[in-house]
Amino acid sequence: MSKPKGRSDDMMIIRGVNVFPSQIETVLIEQGYSPNYLIEVDRVNNSDTLDISVEMNPNQLSDKVKDMQKQERALAEAMKLMIGINPKVHLVSPKSIERSEGKAVRVIDKRKLHD
Amino acid sequence: MANVKQISVFVDNKPNQAAGAMRLIKESGVNLRALSLADTADFGIIRIIANDTEKAVDILKAASYAVTVTEVVAISIPDTPGQLSRVLDILGEADVNVEYLYSFVGTSDRSVSFVIRVDDNDRASDVLTRSGVIQLTENDIAEM
């Protein structure tokens, strides 16, 4: 039996793959990012999309756009290794993702709106 | 070496983000000499040359903006055709790579100033000095 990946009631099925928010969080912490993130799942042309907004690390800010885009790609690559599917990572400002008391809303699944 | 300090600020690519950073700078009384904004679908990086770098950095950081300071080359060249091309040729021949550049208004209407971000400031300064290109210093910027 493999190690538990997270609570089953948090589990998302994206492109047929089981994905847990806790897996995303683990990658962020490992890569030196704050564990504040927002997952947006949608369905475009019958295919699931996975967009993850991550607060950029202020210590890693570069004046060069290509360096920042490299960080986005590296993070997407690390997440793909962890969850098995390719997400789109969006870097956002520090402290711009809403903090909430208790259990934070970290997942927005827009697919349900279409069903 | 005659380099100047450039402030880079990370902003989200959303309404009011650049305005928020500019409002803070306005309230601090810091004067901007030059500015350029590089944008992507997700975010922008505002690059600023200010008359008081330290003060601008402090107030932006206090408001949770991600800020970094890099040294860049700033030059002042005559406002006549072919001058920038000459400068870029000098850098190219010295194998200095230009990452980006932007222009700003200098103190005289017969000259124009440029911020040039290169991969090797020392080498760039050296070849520009040898070719007689005027480079601006932190003092020049502060006194503008």
Tokens of B29: 């009384």
Higher pLDDT, A81 or B141: A81
- Whole-angstrom distance, CA of residue B2 vs CA of residue B115: 12
What is the nearest CA distance from B138 to chain A, expressed in angstroms?
19
pLDDT number for residue B47: 97
- Region B104-110: mean pLDDT is 81
For residue B38, the one-letter residue type is A
Question: Is the CB of residue B55 less than 8 Å from the CB of residue B98?
Answer: no
pLDDT at B132 over 60: yes
Residue B113 burial by Cβ neighbours in a 10 Å radius (0-12, 13-18, 19+): buried
Express each pLDDT in B51-92 by its tens digit: 999 999 999 999 999 999 999 999 999 999 999 999 999 999
Q: Which amino acid is at B123?
A: R
ipTM of the shown complex: 0.88
C-alpha dist (Å) from residue A6 to A82, B32, B78: 13, 50, 65
Give the residue among B118, B112, B117, B119 at the shortest CA–CA distance from B134: B112
Locate A81 and state its tokens: 């290794």
The model carries a pTM of 0.89
pLDDT score of B85: 96
pLDDT confidence band for A59 (50 / 70 / 90): very high
pLDDT classification of B143: cutoffs 50, 70, 90: confident
Residue of B96, B87, B92, B71 whose CA lies nearest to B129? B87
Substitution target from B40, B47, B100 for chain A, most A beta carbons within 10 A: B40
pLDDT for residue B133 is more than 60 = yes
Q: How far apart are CA A97 and CA A111, in angstroms?
A: 22
CA B88/CA B76 separation, integer angstroms? 13
Whether the per-residue pLDDT at A115 is higher than 60: the answer is no
Residue A61 CB contacts under 8 Å (≥ 6 apart), including other chains: A68, B8, B10, B45, B66, B67, B68
- pLDDT for residue B30: 94
Chain B residues contacting A via beta carbons under 8 Å: 6, 8, 10-12, 17, 38, 40, 42-43, 45, 47, 64-68, 70, 99-100, 117
Average pLDDT for residues B108-129, to the nearest whole number?
93
